[in-house]
Amino acid sequence: MTLAPVYLLSSDDPFLKTDRSTKIMTQARSLYPDAELMIFTASDFGSGVSANLSVLEGELIDPGLFGGSRIIKIYLSEIEKSISVQVLHLLSKYTREGLVCIVDLPRMKADYNKAIKSPKPYSDDLKGQLGAKAKQVVSFLGNIGASLEIMYPPEGNELKSFIRDRAHNEYALNVDDAAVEVLALNCEGNLVAVDQFLQIAKLSSNDLITTETVNAYLNHNSRYSGFEFTDAVLNAQTPRALNILSSLKETEGSSLSQVLMQIISGFDNALNAIYDLKHKSDLLKGYSNYAARAAFFAPRRILSPHSQDAIILAAKNMPDDLYDYLVQSLAEASAAVKFFDIEKAFMYLQNMAVSVKHFRQISSFRGMLCQ
């Protein structure tokens, strides 16, 4: 078993990145059982033009007698940013036995595949604009054997194949064709929802999943599956939002942190859409227009009409102080999950669910509460 020194995991789907990252870390743990896990986010490197890389560099350099095995996970918001380029440039400078770095990135352009497949020796000097510099550091990473994986959410027949393959490979389950069709349609490409269903189905003694299995799950378990948390909060359905969180605590087990990150990612996507509706779109002037709605929401992968309605109403009626509170609380919840403090993450999400009740007296928000 061999591992690349650096993995660049690029996707707009958090499940794909989390699942792949987990597999890499499992491999790394088997090779380096004493490896220390280090987690960095973009904010750890500062916010100025020059990134503060001293801590990361100290972890990359072999500490000698003090034990050098490291698994380093780095979350970056965009590759074509000054801090991101500097971080990746540093990673391309150091490689050694016992060091595995995983970089979580949004979806990158396909032409970065050409950069990593055209490896170039490390150089301190980077030339051109940020995009050109980013491709240079990716080519430097290619020179040390780094891996770039640009992952796209499966759709259509690819989604059906994903369901079959994951059921068989991860859970030793078989899914008949009709069940695959129903599951693909109802989960709307939500891969965490698919995986959660398979986990629950595995508890059954029957290794064949039929439409009856799927329908029973959809009719009962999915009511509080956790994927409706954003809608519940935006619609001021506090009891429902709290019930969703409570059910997750009881049923998710070892996959809880993964599901929480999916919830956080989905809520973050909704908050970004609210901001864009307020400041960058004319959609609020005629949001009943189907074509305009589709043009706005499709690139953001917000497909449910119920979710779209909740976001539009929030953009029209949510006061700025509530919006700012939700943004801050979500950031705190995300940081808590990344540092494995699940209880603290739940606390922030619960506070978000309750927070809408404190704004009932604000007339501009009353319209959303009445929906």
pLDDT reading at 330 higher than 90: yes
Q: What is the pLDDT of residues 216-267, one digit of tens each?
A: 776 554 444 445 788 889 888 888 788 888 877 765 455 677 778 878 888 9
pLDDT reading at 334 higher than 70: yes
Distance, in Å, from the CA atom of 236 to the CA atom of 357, rounded to the nearest integer, reads: 7
Query: Residue written as tokens 């490689």?
Result: 95
Query: Residue written as tokens 């979580």?
Result: 104
Contact 25, 165 (CB under 8 A): no
Pairing mode of beta strands 174-175, 70-75: unpaired
Comparing CA positions, the residue from 180, 184, 187, 151 lying closest to residue 164 is 180
pLDDT grade for 188, boundaries at 50, 70 and 90: low
Mean pLDDT over all residues of the chain?
82
Contact 309, 293 (CB under 8 A): no
Which amino acid, residue 157?
Answer: N
Q: What is the pLDDT of residues 262-302, one digit of tens each?
A: 788 889 989 999 998 888 777 666 544 556 676 787 777 77
SS (H, E, C) 151-211: CCCCCCHHHHHHHHHHHHHHHCCEECHHHHHHHHHHHCCCHHHHHHHHHHHHCCCCCEECH
Q: How high is the pLDDT of residue 362?
A: 36
Considering 129-143, 172-186, 264-278, 303-317, the range whose residues carry the highest mean pLDDT is 129-143
Q: What are the DSSP E strand ranges found in the chain?
A: 6-10, 36-41, 70-75, 99-105, 147-150, 174-175, 208-209
pTM: 0.61
